[in-house]
Amino acid sequence: MLILITYDVNTTTPEGRKRLSKVAKKCLAYGQRVQNSVFECVVDATQFKQIKLQLADLIDSETDSLRFYNLGDRYKSKVDHFGARASYDIEGPLII
Amino acid sequence: MLILITYDVNTTTPEGRKRLSKVAKKCLAYGQRVQNSVFECVVDATQFKQIKLQLADLIDSETDSLRFYNLGDRYKSKVDHFGARASYDIEGPLII
């Protein structure tokens, strides 16, 4: 399934930037960064539970906000992009 | 249907902040701001087309990124929140 992770953190502080960097690193193990604090990951149900627990542990729950959206298995028609930096197909071939 | 709108814009410039403010204002006509640049709106198919066109017109397509995700009609079980500022139920009663 495709899951979308959105992370709201104050990046004007070094601590905030550090937490964003940690969240990004974890998300990139499962998918791609499509915007500065938006990540799309393709996971199974077990991985979804894992990533939620792992990320919830990285954030400052007093100040940061972390949201997860489950777009299911048939997600290709559910996403539209406008403007800069269109993302690549995460299940497609990796071109280096 | 619930749609999710994520907007990536450089808010260190006054122009970027102005565009975010315009995008937010437009989105708030259809739904709620759940993070600084993430909006959830409940729309029908016609409104969805309209909001895409309206927002695409507000952004700087050279520098900003705007993404739309369609979470369908049965979306309540598809969203999880951790940390600060849980959002309210957009279809529930408004408590002032």
Greatest distance between any 2 Cα atoms in chain A: 40
Smallest CA–CA distance, residue A81 to chain B, in Å, is 5
Most B CBs within 10 A among A1, A3, A4, A27, hence the mutation to make, goes to A4
Domains of chain B by range and CATH?
Answer: 2-72 (3.30.70.240)
- B78 vs A contacts (CB less than 8 Å): 69-72
Give the number of C-alpha atoms closer than 13 A to the C-alpha of residue B75, restricted to the C-beta side: 20
ipTM over 0.90: no
Look at B56 and A84 and tell me if their CB atoms are within 8 Å. Answer: no
Strands A38-42 and B2-8: unpaired
A80 marked ligand binding residue = no
Spans of chain A, pLDDT less than 50: 88, 90, 93-96
pTM: 0.87
| Nearest alpha-carbon partner for B69 in A79, A15, A58 | A79
Give the nearest partner residue to B69 out of A8, A65, A79, using CB atoms: A79
Strands B2-8 and B38-42: antiparallel
The rounded distance, in Å, linking the Cα atoms of B2 and B29 is 14
Instruction: Tell me the per-residue pLDDT of B6-64, one tens digit each, with 9 for 90 and over.
Output: 999 988 899 999 999 999 999 999 999 999 999 999 999 999 999 999 999 999 999 99
**pLDDT (0 to 100) of residue A76:** 85
**pLDDT (0 to 100) of residue B41:** 95
Most B CBs within 10 A among A26, A32, A35, hence the mutation to make, goes to A35
